[in-house]
Every structure is written in C-alpha cells, then in structure tokens.
C-alpha cells in the first residue's frame, strides 16, 4: 500500500518528469530514483530553456550549469557549479552526495570528476539557445539580470514510502550571467535543504537574493519549530524580503504576498500520491492551504520580487488557523445542507 509518498516540483516544465517519476515512487523505489528521473527529464528537454540542454547562455554564449542533491536521511549533500558540457549535472551532484569531503565541485574539477566516473558529456548549447544569445543585446540585457520570465530552476522534493525525504535542483542560472557566476541552487541551505526528520524546501528566483536569506534552511527550521509548510514558506519569504530587499521592493511587497494564481498553467506541480495516484494535478494556491493530510502538506509560495519556495514536511503539523476556519466553514455548510 502506498503511504506517505509525495512529490512537489517547480513549474510546469517539470510535468513530464513528474509523470515519469511518480510511478517509481508508487512502486516503492527509493526517493532518489524518482527525483533523479524527474530532474533528468527536465535537463534533457531542449524546449526548456533554463535547465540542462538548451539552457540560458552566459555572457560568453556558453551554457554553464549548477545542480545539487540532498539526502534527508544522512544530510549528505552534493553539488556541481559552473559545469559546461555535462549532460546531466544532477547525476553528478547525486553521486557526490555520497562523499563526506569534496562533495561540492566546480568547473574544471567537477568536469574531471565526471569524466573519471564515466558520466555523459555533450555540447549543452542548443540551436535555440544560441539563437537567443545571438539575437540579444548583451550590453543592455546583462545590466538587468533577473530570473528568467519563463521560470528558472527546476526543484523536486520527494518523500518515499519509508518516509525518506530528498531534494534535487538544476539550473542554467541567469541569462547572460558573468562566466563563473554561481547562484543559490548548488548552495546548501539556500537553493535546497532536506532533513527527513523534519522536511524539505527548495527555492527558485534570483540566486543572489535567495542566498542572503539561506531561504531553504530557514523554511525547514520553521517547520522544525512546528509551522506547516505553507506558513513556513510564507513567513520565511516575507521576513527575508523585509530584511534584505531594497526599500522600494520591501515597501511594495509587504505585507501582502503575491500569488501567481492568475495563471493556472504556471503553478507548480503538487502530487500527493497517497491521495490520488493519477492524474497529476495542479492546484491553485488557495487549495494548497488545505493539507492533503495533517501529516504532510507539500506547499508553494511566491513573492512578487521573484522569490519562490516549495516545501513539504514529514512531521505532524496542526492545520493553520486559516485552514481550520476553512474546514469549519465547509463543515457548517454541509451541516446546513444536511439539516435543511
């Protein structure tokens, strides 16, 4: 019987990967297999222009990739930064997560390691990403580096039937970034964090902003202190914005959080296997406030300046007051229908 399995990932681009990965969890494979399957599917898709093959080129027109993996049971962490022609950076990151030392490698060191272990290589600049680079005004666009509007990092969080949790992330980083620039994704605690005793979180958006708040660790710590994933995401993002963003942004963003609810197709994927094995569903955020059970509730939160976080917990959480009131409302509604 499937119990307690769940996956959540960022953005519609991970739909195919989630479709491939979810049946693995259903068959009780370890969580890392499902996460690798989901992330690799995104990395391999040339149509996805912010991850893996066909990713966004840097200022020199090269696709430079960051990826990381964290094992929530062991706290093992592995990552690669600024790698150029590794076909699936997430595979190398996962491999490195087994080591106590030398688990985060960059550029040439990561490349040599991947070669020595026989990982696949290919030119990651697709004809489309080259065309995008050639047609861009580099001087102008490199002045205003923002998260790619069609979305950036793929983040996948999972929990298997053993209640083991893990997280994998992969990205090409910002379009026209300076060669060698590293974002939040391969930085433990910023782009991702996983602790099977508590939960997982991962972030997307502009890496420099995310890193200043160690956002993923901050969310997991809030869950450790009893917050449900939704509240932990919202609180961490909001606190971070108020503290770190410039005065205009902070004033604009506080206190209300901005959802991306208007565009259904942009919502992240939420796949609570224990509740519904198929099909994959995208839920509006308001629905996400209702946990699939009080024990686990993958969540998603987004703030206007482009900081986004997903989280899932492995511990019992009390429904938030808002959720409780919503339950009460539904309950009263059904009672009134029943009694009338």
189 scored as a contact of ligand GLY (CB under 6 A): no
Q: Of the two residues 205 and 291, which places its CB atom closer to ligand GLY in the complex?
A: 205
Among 171, 231, 301, 323, binds ligand GLY (CB under 6 A): 171
- 24 vs 104 by CB, closer to ligand GLY: 104
Residues 6+ apart with CB under 8 A from 97: 69, 70, 71, 76, 77, 78, 103
Using CB under 6 A as the binding rule, whether residue 62 contacts ligand GLY is answered as no
Q: How far apart are CA 217 and CA 283, in angstroms?
A: 25
Q: Which stretch binds ligand GLY (CB under 6 A): 95-103, 200-208, 303-311, 322-330?
A: 200-208
Tell me which residues are annotated as active site.
Answer: 153
Q: At what angle do helices 107-116 and 89-96 cross, to 10 degrees?
A: 80
Judged by CB under 6 A, does residue 231 bind ligand GLY?
no
Q: Is 174 in the site for ligand GLY (CB under 6 A)?
A: yes
The correct pick among 204, 297, 299, 308 for binding ligand GLY (CB under 6 A) is 204
Asked if 307 contacts 215 with a C-beta cutoff of 8 angstroms, the reply is yes
183 binding ligand GLY? (CB under 6 A): yes
* Angle between helix 229-244 and 215-224 (nearest 10): 130
Between 22 and 147, name the residue whose CB sits nearer to ligand GLY.
147
- For ligand GLY, the nearest residue by Cβ is 183
Considering the rule CB under 6 A, would residue 185 count as an interface residue with ligand GLY?
yes
Using CB under 6 A as the binding rule, the residues of this chain from 94 to 153 that contact ligand GLY are: 152-153
Q: Which residue has the tokens 């972030």?
A: 203
Asked whether the bond before 279 is cis by omega within 30 degrees of 0, the reply is yes
Do β-strands 299-303 and 307-313 pair in parallel, antiparallel, or remain unpaired?
antiparallel
- Find the part of the chain contacting ligand GLY (CB under 6 A) among 3-11, 16-24, 180-188, 274-282: 180-188
CA-CA distance, 201 to 9, in Å (whole number)?
10
Minimum CB distance to ligand GLY smaller for 22 or for 305: 305
CB of 167 to ligand GLY, least distance (A): 14
**Distance between CA atoms of residues 271 and 298, nearest Å:** 8
**Of residues 184, 195, 221, 234, which one binds ligand GLY by CB under 6 A?**
184
CB 178 within 8 A of CB 58: yes
Figure out which of the listed residues 158, 207, 291, 298 binds ligand GLY, where binding follows CB under 6 A. 207
Q: Dihedrals φ, ψ of 206, to 5°?
A: -80, 115
Q: In angstroms, give the least distance from the CB of 264 to ligand GLY.
A: 23
64 binds ligand GLY (CB under 6 A): no
Q: Which is nearer to ligand GLY, 43 or 228 (CB)?
A: 43
| DSSP helix/strand/coil, 70 | strand
Cβ nearer to ligand GLY, comparing 173 with 298: 173
Query: 39 in helix, strand or coil?
Result: helix
How many residues contact ligand GLY, by CB under 6 A?
12
Query: CB within 8 A of 148, min separation 6: which ones?
Result: 49, 50, 56, 174, 175
Point out which residues bind ligand GLY (CB under 6 A).
Answer: 152-153, 171, 173-174, 183-185, 204-207
């Amino acid at each position: 019987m499937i119990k307690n399995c769940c996956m959540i990932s960022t953005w519609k681009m991970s739909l195919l990967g989630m479709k491939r990965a979810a049946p693995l969890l259903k068959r009780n494979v370890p969580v890392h297999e499902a996460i690798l399957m989901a992330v690799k599917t995104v990395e391999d898709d040339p149509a996805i222009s912010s991850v893996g093959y066909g990713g966004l080129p840097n200022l020199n027109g090269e696709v430079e990739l960051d990826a990381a993996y964290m094992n929530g049971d062991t706290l093992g962490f592995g990552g690669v930064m600024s790698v150029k022609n590794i076909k699936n950076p997430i595979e190398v990151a996962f491999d490195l997560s087994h080591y106590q030392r030398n688990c985060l490698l960059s550029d040439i060191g990561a490349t040599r390691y991947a070669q020595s272990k026989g990982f696949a290589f290919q030119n990651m600049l697709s004809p489309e990403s080259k065309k995008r680079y050639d047609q861009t005004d580099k001087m102008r666009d490199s002045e205003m580096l923002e998260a790619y509007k069609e979305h950036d990092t793929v983040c996948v969080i999972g929990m298997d039937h053993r209640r083991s949790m893990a997280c994998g992330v992969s990205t090409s980083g910002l379009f026209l970034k300076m060669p060698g620039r590293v974002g939040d994704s391969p930085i433990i605690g910023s782009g991702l964090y996983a602790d099977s005793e508590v939960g997982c979180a991962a972030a997307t958006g502009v890496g420099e902003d995310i890193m200043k708040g160690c956002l993923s660790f901050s969310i997991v710590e809030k869950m450790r202190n009893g917050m449900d994933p939704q509240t932990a995401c919202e609180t961490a993002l909001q606190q971070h914005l108020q503290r770190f963003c410039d005065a205009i942004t902070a004033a604009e963003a506080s206190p209300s959080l901005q959802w991306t609810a208007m565009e259904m197709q942009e919502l992240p994927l939420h796949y609570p296997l224990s509740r519904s094995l198929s099909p994959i569903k995208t839920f509006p955020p308001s629905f996400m406030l209702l946990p699939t059970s009080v024990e686990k509730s993958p969540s998603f939160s987004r703030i206007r300046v482009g900081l986004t976080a997903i989280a899932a917990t492995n511990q019992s959480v009390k429904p938030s007051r808002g959720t409780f009131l919503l339950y009460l409302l539904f309950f009263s509604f059904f009672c009134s229908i029943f009694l009338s």
